[in-house]
Structure 1
């Protein structure tokens, strides 16, 4: 099956890519990791990507803070979120997609029920940042582009039927197609970098 083939190739490429990245300095390592992680958002219509900068062998948080060129290497808007442990998480997002999503009737209703009151994406992200200080809120799925029905089901702690980039409760086939495309985007980004190295 094509999806299994791509998944196997992605796994192989990921190992080679990470081995190649290990020889890089912190700045180049961080850029390479961010490009791979954000590929589904850059190339496949995913609303956003959340990246945790915790790495026991590298000081990626310092690198991110001190090198502005990394921020310009990723063609997405970004916001910095701090979790309760004080770790930095980077939220990369496509601004137009997020604005559109936040005006969607069902997304807006879900967020309103969660206490969000916003006029634009910046205000919604500001509220998200505040909530991250306490813990990862269920509504992060809205900001990442997960199907609203799956975000709602997750918040109700229902039993999921499949796990990929998120826990799936409905429309499993459509989610699997999306996961396949996300994997493909990551594969092409990593494979291209491996060939250029």
Structure 2
């Protein structure tokens, strides 16, 4: 059901100019974060059929205000930009968790726990690895056990959705459904505004 509704929405916003398309795209994808269900959302904004990277580059501060989230650009490519959107208060509280702090310290994130320090290290890890570092899951609000288990290639994934679940399938399914429902609310708002 969700997949069909999401595809219909993408077809619906296809009529928009690039700027308004990007607003709709960001509102849709970040809705679990703007609603407070997640601490952050990572989105690759591309120049492909549309010049969304260019639109983002020219309007990032304004777009961030429109969706009411803070952001950091994690990695810039020729035709895309990887952007992390986050709720600053939720993220700060999330990163105060003792187990999460210890996990990040073990990955050389330092013990101060301020966001600027964390983001500098995270961006550097993206650069060094030339891929997505496993700890990004912490910044996206994934369960720490699943973030850790993702590193172990011999651990069997029980469920895949917003993240790979290796442990609590029941709780993960509930979270996935809540995230999808937030996206449906955004879709509904767009349809109602069109009437």
TM-score (norm 1): 0.90
Q: What's the CA shift for 1:118?
A: 4.9
The count of residues paired between Structure 1 and Structure 2 equals 189
Residue pair 1:150, 1:167 contacting (<8 A) in 2 also:
yes
Q: Does residue 145 of structure 2 align to residue 172 of structure 1?
A: no
Q: What's the CA shift for 1:196?
A: 1.4
Match of 1:126 in 2: 120
In 2, the alpha carbon distance for the partners of 1:155 and 1:113 equals 14
Unpaired stretches in structure 2, ≥5 consecutive residues: none
Within a 5 Å distance, the mapping from 1:62-101 to structure 2 comes to 62-67=54-59, 68-82=61-75, 87-101=80-94
| Greater shift in the superposed pair: 120-129 or 181-190 | 120-129
Q: What's the CA shift for 1:174?
A: 0.6
In 1, the alpha carbon distance for the partners of 2:5 and 2:105 equals 42
Match of 2:160 in 1: 163
In 2, the alpha carbon distance for the partners of 1:87 and 1:18 equals 19
Alpha carbon RMSD of aligned pairs, Å? 1.6
Match of 1:137 in 2: 133
Match of 1:19 in 2: 11
Q: What's the CA shift for 1:83?
A: 5.8
Q: What's the CA shift for 1:46?
A: 0.5
Q: What's the CA shift for 1:44?
A: 4.2
Specify the SS of the correspondent of 1:46. coil
Residue pair 2:56, 2:63 contacting (<8 A) in 1 also:
yes
Counterpart of 1:38 (choices 11, 30, 33) is 30
Residue pair 1:16, 1:194 contacting (<8 A) in 2 also:
no
Give per-residue Cα distances to partners, 1:56-76, cap 9 Å, x unaligned. Answer: 211111101112422211111
In 2, the alpha carbon distance for the partners of 1:113 and 1:84 equals 29
Unpaired stretches in structure 1, ≥5 consecutive residues: 1-7
Moved over 4 A (4+): 83-86
Q: What's the CA shift for 1:16?
A: 2.2
Give per-residue Cα distances to partners, 1:149-173, cap 9 Å, x unaligned. Answer: 0001001222211111000011110
Specify the SS of the correspondent of 1:53. strand
Residue pair 1:78, 1:90 contacting (<8 A) in 2 also:
yes
Give per-residue Cα distances to partners, 1:25-47, cap 9 Å, x unaligned. Answer: 11001010000000111114211
Query: Which of the pair has the greater relative contact order for Cα pairs under 8 Å at 6+ separation?
Result: 1
In 1, the alpha carbon distance for the partners of 2:161 and 2:22 equals 24
Residue pair 1:84, 1:132 contacting (<8 A) in 2 also:
no
